[in-house]
Amino acid sequence: MLRQHGKKVEISEIYSAYCEYIEKARRFIEKRGNSEFSEGSEGNALARVMKMYGAVPEEAYSGLTDGRKYHSHAKMVEEMTAFLKSMKVSDAWNVEYGIATIKSIMNHYIGVPPTEFKVEGKIYTPETYLKEYLKINPDDFVEILSYKQEPYWQQVEYKVTDNWWHNKDYYNVPLNDYMDALKKAIKSGYSLSIGGDVSESGFSRETNCALIPDYDMPSAYINEDALQFRFSNEATTDDHGMQLIGYLENYKGLGKDWFLIKDSSSGSRNVGQSNPDFGYYFFHEDYIKLKMMGFTVHKDAVKGLLEKFK
């Protein structure tokens, strides 16, 4: 919105999460329990949910009820999960009843999302707010992936738990092409939603940095084989999504770039805001190369890459 139209807006993240839980529950019921229902999702889920449900401004729906300052959904998810499991036990797969109950649980914990609201004196629905005010086209966003277990230069399924709807639209490219596209995108003014592993010894919340220590793997050895090996043996997991928003090129003439990451995890948000670096990290490009599996970005940022796909 800021890049395309020059407007700073706060879009309600929790509205999209609310809507995605509806779709998770729907698939769980339709698949008779053979579908993932838990917290977490993929970067490209946001465009999918917006296309289905639209968007609302943060001020219209924060999801923070009863004076809460932070989001904590453990009890809500526990209750929703228990309900869906009870449907499985009783073999009572009523979609309408199931979704109504899931909505009721969420309404209790995070409030009822609005069906219309006023922005700059005009009444919008979630659908018209997305189309007429934000002017965001969800179809303009693509997911770039690099993993060797699937053919390169094809659209494939990313086989991780958070791809709960088994999306097969991921553009799978060799690692060097992946890194080139990522660097070109951020240096051209596009931000990226990026996902991967933040449970490594080189990821430090004390220094706000992430790197690959020499004792782990020397930089020269980081390639697509190393990436695939760690993904296959689950040393690399798809456990967190963040936003890549900036870069520092060729730091100290060492030929490597660092990237500025805006994080959304509770460890970044719940520590208070006295720290001026609150919620931000620097990722070394080797860390992204070895530990960040995919990114979501506007299709204009990766035109050259997409042209190589049949």
Query: How much is the pLDDT for 269?
Result: 52
Query: How much is the pLDDT for 55?
Result: 98
Indicate the pTM of the whole model.
0.92
Q: Which residues pair with 258 in a beta bridge?
A: 248, 284
- Domains of the chain in sequence order: 2-134 (3.90.70.10), 139-306 (3.90.70.10)
**Closest to 133 in 3D by CA, of 141, 145, 121:** 121
What are the residues whose beta carbons fall under 8 Å from the beta carbon of 227, sequence distance 6 or more? 146, 147, 148, 175, 236, 289, 290, 293
- The three-point CA angle 263-265-271 to 5° equals 95
User: Residue 46 to residues 5, 11, 72, 148, 195: CA-CA distances in angstroms?
Assistant: 20, 12, 20, 26, 13
Q: How far apart are the first and last CA of the chain?
A: 30
Q: Compute the radius of gyration of the chain from its Cα atoms.
A: 20
Check if the beta carbon of residue 54 is closer than 8 Å to that of residue 126: yes
Q: Which two tokens stand for residue 203?
A: 């990821």
Query: How much is the pLDDT for 267?
Result: 57
User: Residue 192 to residues 61, 62, 110: CA-CA distances in angstroms?
Assistant: 24, 23, 28
CA distance 227 to 290: 5
**Tens digits of residue pLDDT in 250-292:** 888 888 999 999 987 655 555 555 555 568 899 999 999 999 9
What are the residues whose beta carbons fall under 8 Å from the beta carbon of 104, sequence distance 6 or more? none
**Residues of the chain predicted below pLDDT 50:** none
CA-CA-CA-CA torsion sign (218, 220, 225, 227): positive
Query: How much is the pLDDT for 277?
Result: 55
Query: How much is the pLDDT for 255?
Result: 84
**Tens digits of residue pLDDT in 70-115:** 888 999 999 999 999 999 999 999 999 999 999 999 999 999 999 9
